Amino acid sequence: QASAATGPARVWGACSPDSARPRLWAMGSTCSVSTSSELDRASCKIDAQLANLAGKIAGAEEELRQHVAKGSSDPSARQRALQAIKRKNMLEEQRRHLLGTQFNIESLAFQQDQAHVTLLAVNALKHGTEELKAEHLKMGEAEVESL
Protein backbone atom coordinates (compact mmCIF):
# COMPACT_ATOMS: atom_id res chain seq x y z
CA GLN A 1 0.00 0.00 0.00
CA ALA A 2 1.11 3.53 -0.65
CA SER A 3 1.68 5.67 2.39
CA ALA A 4 0.20 9.11 2.99
CA ALA A 5 3.52 10.64 1.96
CA THR A 6 3.34 9.12 -1.53
CA GLY A 7 -0.24 10.24 -2.08
CA PRO A 8 -2.10 7.57 -4.03
CA ALA A 9 -4.68 8.38 -6.65
CA ARG A 10 -7.35 5.80 -7.48
CA VAL A 11 -7.94 4.67 -11.02
CA TRP A 12 -11.29 2.85 -10.95
CA GLY A 13 -11.45 -0.46 -12.71
CA ALA A 14 -13.48 -3.60 -12.70
CA CYS A 15 -14.10 -5.52 -9.48
CA SER A 16 -12.53 -8.87 -10.09
CA PRO A 17 -9.86 -10.89 -8.33
CA ASP A 18 -7.60 -10.48 -11.37
CA SER A 19 -7.75 -6.70 -11.45
CA ALA A 20 -7.77 -5.20 -7.98
CA ARG A 21 -10.02 -2.17 -7.62
CA PRO A 22 -8.67 0.43 -7.52
CA ARG A 23 -5.12 0.57 -8.78
CA LEU A 24 -3.04 3.17 -7.03
CA TRP A 25 -0.60 5.40 -8.86
CA ALA A 26 1.92 7.54 -7.04
CA MET A 27 2.32 10.89 -8.75
CA GLY A 28 4.86 10.61 -11.53
CA SER A 29 5.41 6.86 -11.18
CA THR A 30 4.56 4.18 -13.68
CA CYS A 31 4.09 1.22 -11.36
CA SER A 32 0.78 0.38 -9.72
CA VAL A 33 0.01 -0.68 -6.17
CA SER A 34 -3.29 -2.37 -5.36
CA THR A 35 -5.25 -1.84 -2.18
CA SER A 36 -8.22 -3.49 -0.56
CA SER A 37 -9.65 -0.80 1.64
CA GLU A 38 -13.10 -0.92 3.16
CA LEU A 39 -14.44 1.58 0.61
CA ASP A 40 -13.20 -0.49 -2.29
CA ARG A 41 -14.68 -3.71 -0.91
CA ALA A 42 -18.00 -1.96 -0.25
CA SER A 43 -18.06 -0.55 -3.78
CA CYS A 44 -17.34 -3.97 -5.29
CA LYS A 45 -20.06 -5.57 -3.17
CA ILE A 46 -22.54 -2.92 -4.31
CA ASP A 47 -21.53 -3.56 -7.94
CA ALA A 48 -22.36 -7.25 -7.45
CA GLN A 49 -25.68 -6.40 -5.81
CA LEU A 50 -26.55 -4.03 -8.66
CA ALA A 51 -25.81 -6.74 -11.22
CA ASN A 52 -27.99 -9.18 -9.25
CA LEU A 53 -30.82 -6.64 -9.07
CA ALA A 54 -30.56 -5.96 -12.81
CA GLY A 55 -31.13 -9.66 -13.45
CA LYS A 56 -34.11 -9.74 -11.10
CA ILE A 57 -35.61 -6.63 -12.73
CA ALA A 58 -35.24 -8.22 -16.17
CA GLY A 59 -36.91 -11.37 -14.82
CA ALA A 60 -39.80 -9.36 -13.39
CA GLU A 61 -40.23 -7.58 -16.74
CA GLU A 62 -40.31 -10.91 -18.58
CA GLU A 63 -42.83 -12.31 -16.08
CA LEU A 64 -44.96 -9.20 -16.57
CA ARG A 65 -44.90 -9.65 -20.37
CA GLN A 66 -45.99 -13.26 -20.01
CA HIS A 67 -48.91 -12.38 -17.73
CA VAL A 68 -50.02 -9.55 -20.01
CA ALA A 69 -49.94 -11.94 -22.99
CA LYS A 70 -52.16 -14.39 -21.08
CA GLY A 71 -54.42 -11.57 -19.92
CA SER A 72 -57.53 -12.43 -21.92
CA SER A 73 -57.34 -16.21 -21.50
CA ASP A 74 -56.39 -16.43 -17.78
CA PRO A 75 -58.47 -14.52 -15.21
CA SER A 76 -55.71 -14.63 -12.58
CA ALA A 77 -53.13 -13.25 -15.04
CA ARG A 78 -54.15 -9.66 -14.28
CA GLN A 79 -53.53 -10.16 -10.55
CA ARG A 80 -50.17 -11.80 -11.23
CA ALA A 81 -49.24 -8.99 -13.61
CA LEU A 82 -49.98 -6.45 -10.85
CA GLN A 83 -47.80 -8.44 -8.44
CA ALA A 84 -45.00 -8.50 -11.04
CA ILE A 85 -45.30 -4.71 -11.45
CA LYS A 86 -45.08 -4.23 -7.67
CA ARG A 87 -42.06 -6.54 -7.44
CA LYS A 88 -40.36 -4.73 -10.33
CA ASN A 89 -41.01 -1.33 -8.70
CA MET A 90 -39.63 -2.59 -5.38
CA LEU A 91 -36.49 -3.92 -7.10
CA GLU A 92 -36.01 -0.62 -8.96
CA GLU A 93 -36.32 1.28 -5.67
CA GLN A 94 -33.64 -0.96 -4.14
CA ARG A 95 -31.48 -0.28 -7.21
CA ARG A 96 -31.90 3.49 -6.81
CA HIS A 97 -30.97 3.22 -3.13
CA LEU A 98 -27.85 1.18 -3.94
CA LEU A 99 -26.82 3.64 -6.65
CA GLY A 100 -27.09 6.48 -4.11
CA THR A 101 -25.00 4.53 -1.62
CA GLN A 102 -22.40 3.74 -4.28
CA PHE A 103 -22.24 7.41 -5.24
CA ASN A 104 -21.59 8.34 -1.60
CA ILE A 105 -18.84 5.71 -1.30
CA GLU A 106 -17.13 6.86 -4.48
CA SER A 107 -17.42 10.51 -3.40
CA LEU A 108 -15.72 9.67 -0.12
CA ALA A 109 -12.99 7.75 -1.96
CA PHE A 110 -12.46 10.80 -4.21
CA GLN A 111 -12.21 13.05 -1.14
CA GLN A 112 -9.60 10.71 0.34
CA ASP A 113 -7.62 10.83 -2.90
CA GLN A 114 -7.76 14.63 -2.89
CA ALA A 115 -6.50 14.68 0.70
CA HIS A 116 -3.55 12.49 -0.33
CA VAL A 117 -2.76 14.79 -3.27
CA THR A 118 -2.97 17.84 -0.99
CA LEU A 119 -0.62 16.20 1.52
CA LEU A 120 1.81 15.37 -1.28
CA ALA A 121 1.71 18.97 -2.54
CA VAL A 122 2.29 20.36 0.97
CA ASN A 123 5.27 18.05 1.48
CA ALA A 124 6.69 19.03 -1.92
CA LEU A 125 6.31 22.74 -1.10
CA LYS A 126 8.03 22.26 2.27
CA HIS A 127 10.90 20.41 0.64
CA GLY A 128 11.21 23.04 -2.09
CA THR A 129 11.24 25.86 0.47
CA GLU A 130 13.96 24.10 2.47
CA GLU A 131 16.07 23.64 -0.66
CA LEU A 132 15.58 27.28 -1.62
CA LYS A 133 16.71 28.41 1.85
CA ALA A 134 19.76 26.17 1.61
CA GLU A 135 20.67 27.66 -1.77
CA HIS A 136 20.26 31.18 -0.40
CA LEU A 137 22.57 30.34 2.50
CA LYS A 138 25.19 29.02 0.08
CA MET A 139 25.26 32.38 -1.67
CA GLY A 140 27.07 35.02 0.30
CA GLU A 141 25.95 38.63 0.50
CA ALA A 142 29.07 39.71 -1.33
CA GLU A 143 28.31 37.37 -4.20
CA VAL A 144 24.76 38.72 -4.53
CA GLU A 145 25.97 42.35 -4.36
CA SER A 146 28.59 41.71 -7.03
CA LEU A 147 25.85 40.65 -9.43
Structural domain span for residue 27:
1-36
65 and 90 co-located in one domain: yes
**pLDDT for res 66:** 92
Is 10 part of a structural domain of the chain?
Answer: yes
7-15 contact pairs (CB < 8 A, 24+): 7/116, 7/117, 7/119, 7/120, 8/33, 8/35, 8/113, 8/116, 9/113, 9/116, 9/117, 10/109, 10/110, 10/113, 12/106, 15/43, 15/44, 15/47, 15/48
**pLDDT for res 143:** 73
54 and 94 co-located in one domain: yes
The CATH number of the domain holding residue 63 is 1.10.287
54 and 3 co-located in one domain: no
**pLDDT for res 15:** 63
Is 22 part of a structural domain of the chain?
Answer: yes
53 and 66 co-located in one domain: yes
94 and 42 co-located in one domain: yes
74 and 104 co-located in one domain: yes
51 and 97 co-located in one domain: yes
29 and 82 co-located in one domain: no
Is 125 part of a structural domain of the chain?
Answer: no
51 and 78 co-located in one domain: yes
**Encoded amino acid at 97, one letter:** H
Q: Please list the pLDDT of the chain residue by residue as tens digits (147 residues).
A: 344 444 444 444 446 544 444 434 344 433 333 444 888 899 999 999 999 999 999 999 999 999 998 877 888 888 999 999 999 999 999 999 999 999 999 999 999 999 999 999 999 999 999 999 888 888 877 776 776
Is 23 part of a structural domain of the chain?
Answer: yes
Rounded Cα distance, 37 and 72, in Å: 55
Q: Where does the chain have alpha helices with state H?
A: 38-70, 77-138, 141-146
15 and 69 co-located in one domain: no
Number of domains in the chain: 2
**pLDDT for res 105:** 93
**pLDDT for res 33:** 38
**pLDDT for res 145:** 74
